[in-house]
Structure 1
């Protein structure tokens, strides 16, 4: 069994996936806040 060397794995794909996930999460959060503000303004 080979010995593990910390930091030797290529993680570029994981970094791209995580960046995409964070971007999508930010868009969903902003959209949800926008919808809530719109609902508060319309429901008078």
Structure 2
């Protein structure tokens, strides 16, 4: 069994994926809010 050293794994790809996910969720939430405000103004 290999020795595991805490904090030695390269996680740059996971960090980039997480940052991309957070960015898309934020943009999606903003788009939904803008769409709902637009619908409220039209009605």
Judge same fold: TM > 0.5, yes or no: yes
TM-score, normalised via structure 2 length: 0.92
Moved over 4 A (4+): none
Q: Which residue is equivalent to 1:9?
A: 9
Q: What are the ranges of 5 or more consecutive residues in structure 2 without an aligned counterpart? A: none
Please tell me whether residue 35 in structure 1 is matched to residue 35 in structure 2. Answer: yes
| Matched residues, number | 43
TM-score, normalised via structure 1 length: 0.90
What is the RMSD of the two structures over their aligned residues, measured on CA atoms? 0.7
